[in-house]
Amino acid sequence: MSDRNVPIIPLEVLFGNPEKNSPLLSPDGKLLAFLAPEECVMNIWLQDVRGEGARSVTHDRGRGIHQYWWAYDNKHLLYPQDVNGDENWRLHALDIETGIDRDLTPFEGAQAHLAAASHRFPGEVLVAINNRDPHLFDIHRLNLASGELTLEVENTEGMINWVADRSMRVRAGQAPTQDGGTELRVRDTAGDDWRTMITWGPEDEGGPCGWTEDGRCLYIADNRGSNTLEMRLLDALTGEMKTLASNPELDTVVPVIRESDGKLQAAGFCKHKLEWMVLDPDIAEDFELLAQAQPGQFRIIIRDLEDRQWIVLYDRDVVPPAFFLYDRPSKKLDFLFVTRPALEGYTLAEMRPLEIKSRDGLTLHCYLTLPPKAEEKGLPVVLNVHGGPWFRDRWGYDPEAQWLANRGYACLQVNFRGSTGFGRKFLTASYREWGGKMHDDLIDAVNWVIEQGIADPKRVAIYGGSYGGYAALVGAAFTPDVFKCAVDIVGPSNLHTFLSSIPPYWEPVRKLMDVRVGRLKGDEEFLASRSPLFKADQIRCPMLIAQGANDPRVKQAESEQIVSTLREKGKPVEYMLFEDEGHGFVRPENRLKFYAAAERFLAEYL
């Protein structure tokens, strides 16, 4: 379907493993780690910072390693690993000198998360584990050499978020309140009682970001008294607060805090592209140089402890992401690698930012990616709905947008109400609007591209994962005249069963879900009215539904109950179940199998 002058990009190039990804400097700046395939599975590799002697240091043969961190001892690499997508993460430590790889949290059915690390205590980290109570995470101090775990804080406060100070003492936490809000609690020492400093209501947002070097003040994101999240400084002794960075239209989303001394140096805002507000003159020249050095938007990934070397990521729409090593003393920027060099020989499509008005007057920040060299008229369109829903689409390289455009479809992405980064009013406009006004926003954007003549109204598909999968089911069931076909990946079909089966560690935010989605007890009819399962008889378009068998967030039953109902009613539905996946498809062979099926499905019906 793509223009004959635009070569087809193989699925392996778009959705197979990247050649390299996620580079991280060791704290002393001498070594560079990165992720790359070993026997087709993503593993951690290690080399000299200037590129000599690259070798794999982990040897996973399952779903691969996709996140990792350096310990401050420059000796251990830490990474989480689950089993086939069950999200029961265990923390592993690899000794780069001996090659010994240890599971440091071998607790069956529990999750472990890295909670804090400090260069002052290079041989230790703090780990949050829910092995005592699956609903709550306690903080443990972990000795990396011995593997010994010592209980640091038992979670008697119901905390959902912990923040240690610069001396690795847990002195702040965030706990849910009965009305669906949260409160910030602090203490002066490990032996003191907790005291409440801030209370956020259910229509507020906020949370702690880190302590200052002296342990007196906290950086917090806070939108009380404002429409947008601002970066503020809270004096934990006096309660005095001042705003450090703000934008009247956009939330402060990316604080840049220097690890060596805990100083907030910059804050990022993102309307379409990431933009920086520099707060510390010490890095002003660096940020100005980096902004001009390469096209696109940039982000600092990591810095060594002496703050002499930075790894910088550059991202834009028509090339794969690229990483550079920036040497501050010499102001020199050296190229490291692009994630997918095989893409560089292909024509990629421009992602166009749009601002579309919803029927009730909200501004929807959207992106339209059109097939290269195609006439911008009467095109088949795939509405690609993001998950979350408290997430957002951004401008930049997007493999699904490029895949669709390369195959001849216009890809429409909509930051519908509730998408993050656009302030309080935009967020609260989504409360209790799953399948309601959140869906109206999607339809309004589709109508806009039809009115512009870009879209063929008879060839529109809806596609998405997680909340986006739910939106695809809603689109097919609630607005059956709009969509020619629909693709649902791990999407809830019945809000009541979805909310009834959330994992135990989500229970502390149950009240927030009550406010934002609906109550299990008291809103039964309302939840049913917003559940595609109960309007399956209205579905007329063909559907492709894909599910991971081990998904702890959206259980397998969410897909299978609507597949069963559709088949009973004689509706056209194709179902793909991946036995070794969870909430999304990580193994490259599964990704490629799914995208090949989705490509065939879209081609057949669009």
pLDDT digits (tens, 9 = 90+) for 319-348: 999 999 999 999 999 999 999 999 998 999
The three-state secondary structure class of 522 is coil
Say if residue 3's pLDDT is above 60. no
pLDDT at residue number 5: 79
pLDDT (mean) for 106-121: 96
The order of strands in the sheet holding 230-235 is 206-211, 217-222, 230-235, 241-245
Q: Are 473 and 529 in contact (CB under 8 A)?
A: no
Residue with tokens 């947002």: 205
Neighbouring CB atoms inside 10 A of 569's CB total 11
Say if residue 386's pLDDT is above 80. yes
Instruction: In whole angstroms, give the CA distance from residue 313 to residue 566.
Output: 45
The three-state secondary structure class of 240 is coil
> Hey, what are 414's tokens?
């909509």
Average pLDDT over the chain, rounded to an integer:
97
Residue 26 a catalytic site member: no
Instruction: In whole angstroms, give the CA distance from residue 510 to residue 501.
Output: 12
Say if residue 2's pLDDT is above 90. no
Q: Name the pLDDT band for 560 (thresholds 50, 70, 90).
A: very high
Residue 583 a catalytic site member: yes
**493: which DSSP letter?**
S
Q: Which residues contact 476 (CB under 8 A, 6 or more apart)?
A: 462, 483, 486, 532, 539, 540, 541, 543
Please work out, in degrees rounded to the nearest 5, the angle formed at the alpha carbon of residue 376 by the alpha carbons of 373 and 377.
Answer: 135
pLDDT at residue number 52: 83
Q: Are 64 and 42 in contact (CB under 8 A)?
A: yes
The order of strands in the sheet holding 21-25 is 21-25, 31-38, 41-48, 55-56
- The catalytic position among 204, 251, 440, 551 is 551
Q: Are 273 and 395 in contact (CB under 8 A)?
A: yes
Q: Which residues contact 356 (CB under 8 A, 6 or more apart)?
A: 363, 364, 366, 414, 444, 445, 448
> Hey, what are 62's tokens?
């399952």
Digit-coded pLDDT (tens) for 123-157: 999 999 999 999 999 999 999 999 999 999 999 99
Say if residue 57's pLDDT is above 80. yes
pLDDT at residue number 1: 46
Q: What angle do helix axes 437-451 and 467-478 make, rounded to 10 degrees?
A: 70
Say if residue 436's pLDDT is above 70. yes
* Rounded (10°) CA dihedral 68, 71, 72, 74: -90
Three-state SS string across 395-463, please? CCCCHHHHHHHHCCCEEEEEECCCCCCCCHHHHHCCCCCCCCHHHHHHHHHHHHHHHCCCEEEEEEEEE
Whether the bond into 80 is cis, omega within 30 of 0: no
pLDDT (mean) for 113-119: 96
Closest CA to 280 of 302, 298, 307, 316: 307
| Region at 29 (left for phi over 0; alpha for psi -120 to 50; beta for the rest) | left
pLDDT at residue number 185: 97
Neighbouring CB atoms inside 10 A of 148's CB total 12
Digit-coded pLDDT (tens) for 202-236: 999 999 999 999 999 999 999 999 999 999 999 99
Q: Are 180 and 202 in contact (CB under 8 A)?
A: yes
Three-state SS string across 66-125, please? CCCEECCCCCEEEEEECCCCCCCCEEEEEECCCCCEEECCCCCCCCEEEEEECCCCCCEE
pLDDT at residue number 4: 60
Residue 551 a catalytic site member: yes
Backbone φ and ψ of 159, nearest 5°: -70, 145
**CA-based R_g, the chain, Å:** 24
Say if residue 378's pLDDT is above 50. yes
The order of strands in the sheet holding 124-133 is 112-117, 124-133, 136-143, 149-153
Going from the C-alpha of 316 to that of each of 275, 298, 338, 366, 396, the distances in angstroms are 13, 9, 12, 16, 4
Look up the pTM and report it.
0.97
For β-strands 543-548 and 573-578, DSSP reports them as: parallel
Instruction: In whole angstroms, give the CA distance from residue 484 to residue 130.
Output: 45
Q: Are 305 and 295 in contact (CB under 8 A)?
A: no
Q: Name the pLDDT band for 513 (thresholds 50, 70, 90).
A: very high
Going from the C-alpha of 296 to that of each of 10, 318, 325, 396, the distances in angstroms are 25, 10, 16, 8
Instruction: In whole angstroms, give the CA distance from residue 2 to residue 510.
Output: 46
Going from the C-alpha of 547 to that of each of 350, 469, 475, 555, the distances in angstroms are 31, 10, 18, 9
Say if residue 85's pLDDT is above 50. yes
Neighbouring CB atoms inside 10 A of 327's CB total 13
First to last CA, the chain: 10
Half-sphere exposure of 149 (CA within 13 A, CB side): 18
Three-state SS string across 14-69, please? HHCCCCCEEEEECCCCCEEEEEEEECCEEEEEEEECCCCCCEECCCCCCCCCCCCE
- The catalytic position among 466, 493, 531, 559 is 466
